[in-house]
Amino acid sequence: MIKCRCLQLLIIITILLQSVDVYAQTSGSEQKLAKVGNRFITEGEYLERYELSPGINRHNKKLTEFSKTDFLYTLIAEKLWALEAASMGLDTIEVMKFSRTAFEKMFVRDELYRREILEKIEITDEELFEGYTKNSTILKVNFLFSDDEEEIYHLYNLLNIGIPFDTILFESPEFEEQREPIEIVYGQMDKNIEDSLFLLKIEEYTTPILTPDGWYIFILKNRTEQMLRNVEDIENSKNTVGKIIKARKEQNLYTEFYYNFFGDKSVDVNPILFESLAQKINRVISEKKKNEKIKDGDPVYLLADEVLLIEQQFGDDSLKMVYILFDDEPITVKSFLRTLAYDGFSITETGIVKLRAILDLKTREIIEQELLAREGYKRNIHLSPEVQAQIQMWFDNYLFQILQNQFLDSSYVSDEEVYNYYRSVTTNENNQVMINIVEVLTDSLELVQFILNELKRGTDIRELAKKYTKREWTKERGGEFGLFKAGNYGEIGRMASQMEVGDIYGPLELPEGYSIFKLIDKRNKDDVPPAPFEKLKDEYSVQLSHIKLKAKMNNYTVQLALKYGLQIDWNFLNAIEVTNINSFAIRRLGFGGKITAVPLLAPNNSWVESYLKKLNEIQ
């Protein structure tokens, strides 16, 4: 009996291991746009981060100069806070030192990949011509499938003695999905299979072809040629062919390097510590799934603070024990757990057996990543200007965040302050802007990119929210919040209040994930009587706390600007050309790993007016 197999399982989707090209940054000759203390914001960093960060009203060309200035001030604020964090010694605390080492290794591996894989890709004119020819051709095929070699060769022998292909196919389980021949285009399948198909004449069939999921015999039913009608068609064809050839060569070079590099390497793991880790992680995962009522099949994520709780269960002596037995600089239990906290860990099927398998894969991945990083260090890749620029950009952002986090608990408000705020608001209710949004919240970068692409294609954000948002209380309403005061919901409310109805913003990075939202209503609250204080107390307490926090952080930014000083080359800023496209991209790093293409920043220019006033007073 021939087992049914859908052809889609055979089609290979090529994953580009490095999908975002970043602007080259150097610390030497590149022109400086601004000076913040002893730090410079270069043209390269500014352009890279502007073009790959979401912004408000980027599509409006009339506001381009404002958008450029607004983003520069946002970037300056980050640098000011990073400078202050470093002066406070926050760059030397354990978590920051580990973070810097972690993403330094990440960029070292990425640069190693560029040198060993990407720089070695060469595409000949002959390959391009062959690609153009295939790209203009559409094949229609049928197939026979079996996961048994003896069976597929029996079918092949039947074809060879004259039994019609269609007669055998009619008796096969996969007949229903092939009532109409299946369309094959260039780049859709593995190159070896593709080459076999493009060599066929109509009604010719292949020999049995072995693939990862079984054996196939293909027959060509029809072939059509597409005409390139204009210059745009020709350019699109060139781009498509170039990307397909590049991706295939990249994959081949990667596979060759992988086997050559890891072929003679062996690293052991302490089995007792492995089992102890598995048991402790399994308990946390199982408890979390139970407490949060996570459905079977849905991923359970191990968060950084939960990893630290597991770390505390080991005790100091156990944490110092060697888990991964490298000859030089072995990795301890503590170092492994910190890497786990940094990289993230998730599982969809719970239970100790599955957990062991996932932990084994994660351990192997960390060993491979460590070996690659060490190879990069041997070559002094970490000292290259490009890598150093990326490290500094991300480390500044980390310093900015860690200092900001120290402010989050510093905006306590008393009951009296809340009541006075309530009185001031309710006596001037007409000035209260009410907004309503539809939001998709996710902690997956891939899902962020998918959602943004769907929105560009015109998909209703409500439908996306119903399927994908992790904010449960809005899910049944298609992600809709309902009318709320602009001062509520922290950064979401602040950003939404600056938008026009119909605008979409995101991703906005929040502690709970990445938020993408659309403003669907904005109005003054002019005809709804204020509710009693007791009913609004908690809401206004959160709102006032956020207002105080924002004011405190603005004042702090002003103080830092005065302390460190800043200089801006306005002529150069005006001359810089930017696009009016709101972009977001995931940077897939060489040899695995992914991050946002640049560190994300919410617009932050509300400190500037106070700073300019203070500066005038001083002068």
Alpha carbons 69 and 270: distance in angstroms, whole number = 54
Say what the pLDDT of residue 222 is: 95
The domain locations on the chain are: 7-13+127-231, 268-383
Q: What angle, 0 to 180 degrees and rounded to 10, lies between the N-to-C axes of helices 385-405 and 94-116?
A: 150
Say what the pLDDT of residue 29 is: 56
Q: Does 433 have pLDDT greater than 90?
A: no
Question: What is the chain's length?
Answer: 619
Q: Does 28 have pLDDT greater than 70?
A: no
* DSSP 8-state assignment for residue 176: G
221, 116 Cβ separation under 8 angstroms: no
Per cent of the chain over pLDDT 90 is 58
Q: Report strand pairing: 322-325 vs 331-332.
A: antiparallel
Q: Pick from 215, 212, 220: which is nearest to 153 by CA?
A: 215
Q: Report strand pairing: 322-325 vs 209-211.
A: unpaired
* DSSP 8-state assignment for residue 589: P
Say what the pLDDT of residue 415 is: 74
* pLDDT, average across residues 88-93: 93
- The sign of the torsion formed by the CA atoms of 252, 258, 264, 266 equals negative
* pLDDT, average across residues 228-248: 89
Say what the pLDDT of residue 420 is: 75
Q: Report strand pairing: 32-36 vs 566-568.
A: antiparallel
377 band by pLDDT with thresholds 50, 70 and 90: very high
What Cα–Cα distance (Å) separates residue 178 from each residue in 2, 167, 567? 15, 13, 67
Residue 614, C-beta contacts closer than 8 angstroms, at least 6 positions apart: 558, 562
* pLDDT, average across residues 596-611: 92
Alpha carbons 493 and 424: distance in angstroms, whole number = 20
Instruction: For residue 366, give both structure tokens.
Output: 């960390």
CATH 3.10.50.40 at 7-13+127-231, yes or no? yes
SS3 percent helix, strand, coil of the chain, rounded to 5, is: 55, 15, 30
Residue 510 has φ and ψ, to the nearest 5°, of -120, 165
- Strands, E assignment, 542-619: 566-568, 586-588, 594-596
Helix (H) / strand (E) element for 612: namely: helix 608-618
For residue 107, how many C-alpha atoms fall within 13 Å in the half-sphere facing its CB?
A: 24
Furthest CA-CA distance within the chain: 98
Helix (H) / strand (E) element for 127: namely: helix 125-135
Residue 206 has φ and ψ, to the nearest 5°, of -85, 165
Alpha carbons 125 and 122: distance in angstroms, whole number = 10
Higher pLDDT, 209 or 413: 209
22, 391 Cβ separation under 8 angstroms: no
For the ranges 160-174, 223-237, 499-513, the one whose mean pLDDT is highest: 160-174
Beta bridge partners of 509: 514
Higher pLDDT, 68 or 536: 68
For residue 72, how many C-alpha atoms fall within 13 Å in the half-sphere facing its CB?
A: 26
128 band by pLDDT with thresholds 50, 70 and 90: very high
Span between the terminal Cα atoms of the chain, in Å: 90
11, 189 Cβ separation under 8 angstroms: yes
Q: Pick from 426, 377, 449: which is nearest to 531 by CA?
A: 426
For residue 499, how many C-alpha atoms fall within 13 Å in the half-sphere facing its CB?
A: 29
Class of residue 94 by CB neighbours under 10 A (exposed 0-12, middle 13-18, buried 19+):
exposed
For residue 70, how many C-alpha atoms fall within 13 Å in the half-sphere facing its CB?
A: 17
Instruction: For residue 580, give both structure tokens.
Output: 């009016």
* pLDDT, average across residues 474-500: 86
Residue 155 has φ and ψ, to the nearest 5°, of -65, -40
Alpha carbons 70 and 51: distance in angstroms, whole number = 13
Per-position DSSP letters for 469-517, written without gaps between them: ---HHHHTTTTB--SEETTSSHHHHHHHHTSPTT-EEEEEEETTEEEEE
Class of residue 227 by CB neighbours under 10 A (exposed 0-12, middle 13-18, buried 19+):
exposed
Say what the pLDDT of residue 299 is: 83
Say what the pLDDT of residue 511 is: 77
Say what the pLDDT of residue 13 is: 29
Instruction: Of 153-162, 195-204, 217-226, 292-301, give the lowest mean pLDDT range.
Output: 292-301
CA angle 5, 7, 11 (to 5 degrees): 130
* pLDDT, average across residues 348-371: 94
Alpha carbons 51 and 73: distance in angstroms, whole number = 15
pLDDT digits 0-9 by tens, 515-545: 999 999 988 765 445 667 776 677 777 777 7
* pLDDT, average across residues 598-613: 92
425 band by pLDDT with thresholds 50, 70 and 90: low
Higher pLDDT, 299 or 277: 277
Say what the pLDDT of residue 371 is: 97
Q: Does 327 have pLDDT greater than 50?
A: yes
Alpha carbons 1 and 586: distance in angstroms, whole number = 45
216, 209 Cβ separation under 8 angstroms: yes
Higher pLDDT, 16 or 52: 52
* DSSP 8-state assignment for residue 327: S
Q: For residue 494, give the amino acid letter.
A: R
Say what the pLDDT of residue 535 is: 67
Residue 200, C-beta contacts closer than 8 angstroms, at least 6 positions apart: 206, 218, 219, 220
Alpha carbons 437 and 520: distance in angstroms, whole number = 5
pTM for the whole structure? 0.82
* pLDDT, average across residues 337-345: 88
Q: Pick from 338, 396, 320, 500: which is nearest to 76 by CA?
A: 396
* pLDDT, average across residues 384-411: 88
CA angle 124, 130, 131 (to 5 degrees): 90
Q: In what order do the strands lie in the sheet with 182-184?
A: 182-184, 137-146, 214-225, 209-211
Higher pLDDT, 419 or 338: 338
